[in-house]
Structure 1
Amino acid sequence: MFVPGSALLVVSARKTLNRLHCTHGAPAAEAAAVFPGVSAAIDQHAAAIRDILDLGVDNSGLVPTSVLLAGYARGILEDLREAEAAVLPHSLLDWQDADWLHLRLAGVCALARAS
């Protein structure tokens, strides 16, 4: 059964994830290709997010992955807005010292690419 509200949720989620890919996904993936430590950190965050969504969200199998990831990302983005000291990494070298919030968002992007 088609539910129009569901389609709008997916469209909104894809927009959120596409914006996040520009700010975090692509730059972090580029840094991960150069620095194994960044790659490992992103993989660990992605695994933790996957576990949270699979095990911590009731009926997560019934919700499109993009909607789950975008919802999770929106919560992290809110935390990021509140953490005034958290600065977006601008260069490949900056990603080596990226804070938890930015690496978590890069992990969201890694999962979105994989799904």
Structure 2
Amino acid sequence: MIVLSLAVIFAVILAGLSIWANARFRHHERLPMQWSLTGAVNWTAPRALALSLVPALATGMLAFIAVLALNVRPRAGQENMVLPVTIMIGATFIAVHLFHFRLIDKTIKRNGG
């Protein structure tokens, strides 16, 4: 049950970050989604899609982890790893989301926007 609660908390945090970023980037209809190694933008997406992709992926993965935690017994000796791994996965999604915002901001500033 704790894993399910954590999954919901991480999903809410990611959604809140997207709402915050939506207000921050409100003047831009499309946002960068992929960069080449030289830093050039390869493709963009509408702002709503760009800001909701990571939360949607994270919610799906965390829901899957929560279902597994509720229905499948861990292997012997791994019982105490479910909670820390769930926290690590959720924190990684938050870090990736914030890194995406940083890259978007850097690209916008570089292009004079």
TM-score (norm 1): 0.34
TM-score (norm 2): 0.34
Greater percentage in strand: 2
- Of structures 1 and 2, the one scoring higher in RCO (CA 8 A, sep 6+) is 1
CA radius of gyration, larger in: 2
Greater percentage in helix: 1
